[in-house]
Amino acid sequence: MKVKQTFPCTTEGLAACQALLASVCEDPKPQIITDEIVSNIVRCSGSADFDVEIVSGDGKLTMVYTDRGVAFDPMGVATPDVAASLEEREIGGLGLFMVRKMSKSIGYERRGSENVLTIVI
């Protein structure tokens, strides 16, 4: 199965993307990952829209998120110190930490003016 769709870079676009994902996959992991990744795209990218491609087969699910916003490699975000107390812990990075833990692999590349993030679970 392969599905690809473009959504507006808004909270409504996130909701529509989640609805599409729910229609093709019952596992909650892709929903959680998509919420984190697309929320970051909506809040920070400056892109007017984003694409999500979902491919399932061979016992794995691959999700490809593409936006045309400012260059941002989420793999470059430092892993938070989860052993630190809440008072000592720096803000940010926990969502991407969670995505890394839930995924088999994550890859980022900048293709021209596009950010392309591929996540396999």
Q: What's the mean pLDDT in 89-107?
A: 79
pLDDT for residue 97: 82
Per-residue pLDDT tens for 57-82?
Answer: 989 999 999 999 999 888 776 565 55
Per-residue pLDDT tens for 34-59?
Answer: 999 999 999 999 999 999 999 999 89
Buried b (16+ CB within 10 A) or exposed e, 34-71: bbbbbebbbeebebebbbbebbbeeeebbbbbbbbbee
pLDDT for residue 105: 95
Q: Which two tokens stand for residue 13?
A: 């676009």
How many structural domains is the chain composed of?
1
Q: Which two tokens stand for residue 89?
A: 């812990």
Q: Is the pLDDT of residue 24 over 60?
A: yes
CATH of the domain at 60: 3.30.565.10
pLDDT for residue 78: 56
Q: Is the pLDDT of residue 11 over 60?
A: yes
Domain span including residue 41: 2-120
